[in-house]
Amino acid sequence: MTTRQAPARNPITVIGAFPHLDIAPSQVAQFLIQPSFRISQEHVGQREMLDSFVATPSRYVFEMVRRTRETQCDSRRILIFNPLLRLSTFLIRLTLACVAQSHHDDAVVRSSNGLPLAYLLTLEPAEDYRHLLLLSCSNPELDSKLLAALYFRDVALITVHFPCLTAISNGFLPGPYWRPMEWCAQNALDVLRKVGGEPTAPAANRRTLRDAVRMSAFFTHHAGDALFMGIAASMTERPLFDEILINEAYFPIVRENRGKITFSTTDGPIPFRGEYRKEDCHHFLDMVPRLAKGVFHVYCRGTRNYNFTNFHYIDHFRFCLGESLTEDSQLHRGLVVGAVHPARSKADGPPTILLHFDAGWPLKVYPRSFQLELATLLREQGFRLVALDAHDPLPDVESLRFGTLEKFDALLDRVDVVIGMDSFPVHYAAQARAIKTLHLFSSTHPVHSWAGDSAHHRALHNGADCCPCLGWDKCVRHGGSVCRNFAPPAAVVRGVAEVLAGLPLAPPTLDPLPMPSSKCPRQFRRGTGKAVVFGERDLSAPRLQLMRPFWYLALIPYVVAILVGEFVTAVRHEGPRKALYLTHAFVRRHFPRLLPKRGNGTT
């Protein structure tokens, strides 16, 4: 790095999402540094972007560009720090110093270990920049070529001679979860090479050819997700996608959707259904041969951990599809609106209750002893009972299997109340059919999928402070295969009486449960509150050169200190069993070669 300064040019607006830094606005050299954005787990605002577990880092790149253009219309050049990474102030300063000394109008800034640190773009008024969704955010060479093909200009590579470690991140899932995004970026580049037209053609003509390519959101599963995605699609006014790709088994759920985005279908395996036991990122790569050619595909499955957010899945999906959601009042929160399903005539006999005791994983299933006790109590009160997909028959209860959605709709015509797990049948009954429901939550938090607490819907739980957890088939705090957060049968019977009588419930009802954001790891939370202000001396090349050896020495201890602090916090709040469980999960994801593969096929 030399001290020679580049000629004065248009100022560069600097933006980034830093959970650990409160960056104050300032002007340093040619940079107009803006207050930092944050990927927020609890609230949304102009500087707080909704933490969506299906939003890629590139979705947040686009969102920061969109919000900056809307508030600062005169910004012509912009430097966007990669939201995938959790950068230190030293690495931010190195990046700014390298950009200041470059002569490039457009560039991708990369670290010495090959990660894209930031994107330098010249903004054009004619562009909407939704194609930034196609960036990999993990491969700087690929992103440089893709930006050049998308926006018809030369995009250079600028190297910062310092590494960026990914053991501490900005909340995105690591390693294997980057591969789908890299495939999508390479696929987009291949499509552009085929349809891009002559390099000498006017930019407007090439832009027309590019915009004619459909943008498809890869979102294939599961039934409950398809239900909430359909609701989200119907509410999205500014969609970034032309279509949403789902598995054909779930198409009946969204067939009547009237939103601005169409649904297309594919076949193939479904994760954790039957013998197929692969995680979303590996499933996507298995599905690649089935994807349509000549289409921009964007991976829209798991990229973050929804367990740390206070947002309903519907709002997760709305943000993914294109809604900015800059005010809490814009959030849907999953609340059911409109008239409730009319009660059947009393002449038809006593009320009928549908019981659904099945779910996507074992800890979400009501314990067998509770099932038997609840069925007994309800029969004693004179209710007619129907059990759907019961693992074992319940005495004196009609038992049915889930067949098609049409048959399930016909079954719902017979019932007055649905009692179920955090699973598709009870969500569909509440959201699509407005039938009175009781949702029995355990290891998952009601805020993510409930229908609200009202005269017609109840979210029942036992108030355990370990909810939500990451357990699948074993309790990570106490051991065993039964979740202690289920509401007891007597509480469920009381809830049935309340919803049948239409008794209102005084909000809020989630007080016994801590909100999920309180469990968010410290490294993803707000900064210290002390504003970070960059000055001229912070970008001094000689000063940065002198500091480089000290930052190298501090790099590993800095990361270790953060991880040890997280472990101690987990032991204090979650107990040693769960702390060790989380440690195992962390090592398995970041250093997969150190641990053997699981029997279910996940790595």
**pLDDT value, residue 6:** 44
Q: Is the torsion defined by CA of 39, 42, 48, 53 positive or negative?
A: positive
Distance CA 2, CA 545 (A): 10
In Å, how far from its chain's centre is CA 436?
A: 29
In Å, how far from its chain's centre is CA 276?
A: 22
**Domain range list for the chain:** 12-330, 346-507
**pLDDT value, residue 413:** 94
Tell me: the pLDDT tens digits for 203-213? 889 999 999 99
- E strand intervals along 357-414: 384-388, 398-400
Query: Kind and range of the H or E element at 217?
Result: strand 215-218
**pLDDT value, residue 513:** 79
The CA–CA distances, whole Å, from 560 to 87, 163, 343, 385, 565 equal: 15, 16, 60, 55, 8
Angle of helix 179-195 relative to helix 280-287, nearest 10 degrees, comes to 30
Distance CA 281, CA 287 (A): 10
* Among 181, 193, 174, 169, residue whose Cα is nearest residue 59: 181
**pLDDT value, residue 568:** 79
In Å, how far from its chain's centre is CA 603?
A: 20
Which residues are 40's β-sheet partners? 50
In Å, how far from its chain's centre is CA 405?
A: 27
Low-confidence ranges of the chain (pLDDT < 70): 1-9, 337-348, 505-509, 511, 522-529, 572-574, 586, 588-603
Which residues are 355's β-sheet partners? 387, 419
Distance CA 387, CA 152 (A): 60
Q: Where are the alpha helices (DSSP H) in 399-469?
A: 405-412, 424-431
Confirm if 385 and 374 have CB atoms less than 8 A apart.
no
Distance CA 463, CA 486 (A): 9
The string of DSSP codes covering 278-313 is --HHHHHHHHGGGSPTTSEEEE-S-SS-GGG----H
Residue whose entry in the numeric block shows the structure tokens 């270790």: 560
Residue 283 is encoded by which pair of tokens?
Answer: 């499933």
One-letter amino acid at 12 equals I
CATH entry, 346-507, from 1.20.1600.10, 3.40.50.2000, 3.30.300.90, 3.20.20.70: 3.40.50.2000
Q: Count CA within 13 A, CB hemisphere, residue 483.
A: 29
Buried b (16+ CB within 10 A) or exposed e, 220-250: bbbbbbbbbbbbbbbbbeebbbbbbbbbebb
Residue whose entry in the numeric block shows the structure tokens 């609701």: 231
Distance CA 106, CA 221 (A): 38
Decide: residue 265, CB within 10 A, 0-12 exposed, 13-18 middle, 19+ buried.
middle
Q: What is residue 189's three-state secondary structure?
A: helix
- E strand intervals along 381-488: 384-388, 398-400, 417-421, 436-440, 457-460
Neighbours of 462 (CB within 10 A): 16
* Among 517, 547, 543, 587, residue whose Cα is nearest residue 88: 547
Confirm if 118 and 109 have CB atoms less than 8 A apart.
yes
Residue 537 is encoded by which pair of tokens?
Answer: 């001396």
| Opening angle at CA 547, ends 544 and 549, nearest 5 | 125
| Opening angle at CA 191, ends 190 and 193, nearest 5 | 65
Q: Is the torsion defined by CA of 286, 292, 294, 296 positive or negative?
A: negative
490-494: long-range pairs with CB below 8 Å, 24+: 490/377, 491/460, 492/374, 492/419, 492/438, 492/440, 492/460, 493/374, 493/377, 493/378, 493/381
